[in-house]
Structures are given as C-alpha cells and as structure tokens.
Amino acid sequence: MFSFHRSAAAHVTFHNSGGKLSARAALPPRAHLLNLIQAIQMAYLIIEKIDDFKQTIRGRNPVLAYFFKPSCGFCKQLEPKISTVSETTSGVEFVKINVENGGGEIAREFEVQAVPTVIGFRNGDPVDMVVGNADQDVIQTLVSKLSQK
C-alpha cells in the first residue's frame, strides 16, 4: 500500500491488489477535483515497508527520504521546510518514513539513529544525509545535489 499525503488538504491512499492500482481520497466536504489534483502534485509518499522503500529508491527519480516520529518537536519544525522545498521541486520524489509506525525496519536498514533525518538517494544509493532540524536552504542544497546527474 502506498499513501500520498499533503497536510490537511487531502489524504489519498493507493492500493495495489492483484496488479490493479486503486485510489481512495479523503477530502474536506466542500473540496473539489482541483484540490485533489493540487494535493497529489505537491504530495509526498508515505512508505512503511522496506521492500516498497527499496523499490522506490531504485526508481528513475532521485528520492529525498524524511525519517520522523510524530511526537518529535524538531520533526514538526522541519516538515514545513521540506514541504516548501517539495512544492518548488520536480524530478525528485519526497518520501516520508514514520520510524514508530512500520518504518523502524527501514530506519535500521539505513542506520538512522536520530530523528529527524533526511537522506538523499540516487539509483538506490545514499548521496547525502542531514540529521536534525536543518534550515530550508540546507534541504534545498541536498535536493539540488540529488538533481545533478
């Protein structure tokens, strides 16, 4: 199961069953199709299973993986910075991993020892890592590094 999420605007869950991809959207009552389209365009992927994560980082686009815990204050401060960078970036997938909810195995596999941690991947390999509540320009620099061929 893949889940796209964008703030409180929308939550779209994609289910892969038997090779078919279906989507379910939960939107505020008065939301329109445009809201859904905007939410998907500015979305990040929430991954909970290590096999899904490995498949994603080996994809054709570079990946910025954000490891967090919902109770982490620094994570709550960093997330809007990452979100802002994602809104102005194309060609990089933004992935969110909750280390307390299914993402612990992914965190252990990639030796994430503190949250928040942001790791950039290209062709399945880590390119760079930022640990802690970084400034937005640090996140932008990491994304720029990922965009370079």
What is the pairing mode between strands 20-26 and 93-98? unpaired
Residue 16, judged by CB atoms within 10 A of its CB (0-12, 13-18, 19+), counts as exposed
Instruction: Render pLDDT for 60-100 as a digit per residue (tens, 0 to 9).
Output: 999 999 999 999 999 999 999 999 999 889 999 999 999 99
* Residues classed as catalytic: 72, 75
Strand order across the beta sheet in which 93-98 lies: 20-26, 10-17, 2-6, 44-46, 93-98, 63-68, 117-122, 125-131
Q: What is the mean pLDDT of the chain?
A: 80
Could you please state the CATH topology (level 3) that the domain comprising 43-147 is classified under. Answer: Glutaredoxin (3.40.30)
Report which DSSP code applies to 8. Answer: T
pTM: 0.73
